[in-house]
Amino acid sequence: GQQVMQIPQYQHVQEGEDFTTYCNSSTTLSNIQWYKQRPGGHPVFLIQLVKSGEVKKQKRLTFQFGEAKKNSSLHITATQTTDVGTYFCAGSSNDYKLSFGAGTTVTVRA
Amino acid sequence: DVKVTQSSRYLVKRTGEKVFLECVQDMDHENMFWYRQDPGLGLRLIYFSYDVKMKEKGDIPEGYSVSREKKERFSLILESASTNQTSMYLCASTPGTGTNYGYTFGSGTRLTVV
């Protein structure tokens, strides 16, 4: 079945630094979504990418969908303590159901 | 804002008990989902439903069943709870068919089976 792999599993970042988390699929995706889960909270939808090569920005967050629609990335610039949490990607290859990655858990050193 | 409400935040049940997890959404969403979340494994789909009285198996349906008698309510049932079903259970809903909508999740139910 479809698998979505996410790396790294953990990311320890110095406040003010940038980092990137990556998402890779074994199959071509029709779309990809990103979610953020704060510690003790539930996943919250951030964004959806649909087009090959699509890039979307939300303030300091930049989301990219690969040309082959099999990978995606989330890049955060100038990390802040409010960025702490787990970031999940979720992809669909059949517009039927989403498969979630295992998530990247981000901690920030002040 | 859409609200997805899960009836219990924490539950402790004994092995062999029948367990009901309830989820209610208030925005007339068509689709509802049950996931379990375990460290290092992400979110895994248990069951989902596209309409009242309709249900589809997800990736890990074994040991679970569901019920959707009303559009706003989707229940997850553990017929005979086992310790390997100790997990965080998340309910979600979306307004339409397919995956073109972001999921709205409930706050989760942390179930411990002893």
> Model confidence over B22-39: pLDDT tens digits?
999 998 999 999 999 998
Residues in chain B within 8 Å Cβ distance of A9: 40
A51 to chain B, closest Cα gap in Å? 12
Q: What integer pLDDT is reported at residue A91 of this predicted model? A: 92
Round to whole Å and give the CA distance between A88 and A62. 14
Segment A10-19 mean pLDDT: 96
Round to whole Å and give the CA distance between B25 and A60. 32
Round to whole Å and give the CA distance between B83 and B74. 23
Instruction: Indicate if the pLDDT at residue B40 is higher than 70.
Output: yes
**B50 and chain A in contact, CB less than 8 A:** no
CA A43 to chain centre: 12
B69 to chain A, closest Cα gap in Å? 22
The one-letter amino acid code at A62 reads T
Round to whole Å and give the CA distance between B105 and B46. 14
> Which residue has 């019920």 as its token pair?
B67
pLDDT band per the 50, 70, 90 thresholds, residue A94:
confident
Q: What integer pLDDT is reported at residue B27 of this predicted model? A: 87
Indicate yes or no: CB of A98 within 8 angstroms of CB of B103. yes
> Within a 10 A sphere around the Cβ of A97, how many other Cβ atoms?
18
The nearest alpha carbon in chain B to A34 belongs to B102
The nearest alpha carbon in chain B to A86 belongs to B42
- Sequence-distant (≥ 6) Cβ neighbours of residue A91 within 8 angstroms: A2, A4, A23, A25, A29, A31, A32, A33, A72, A98, A99
Q: What integer pLDDT is reported at residue B97 of this predicted model? A: 66
3-state secondary structure of A90: strand
Q: What integer pLDDT is reported at residue B53 of this predicted model? A: 87
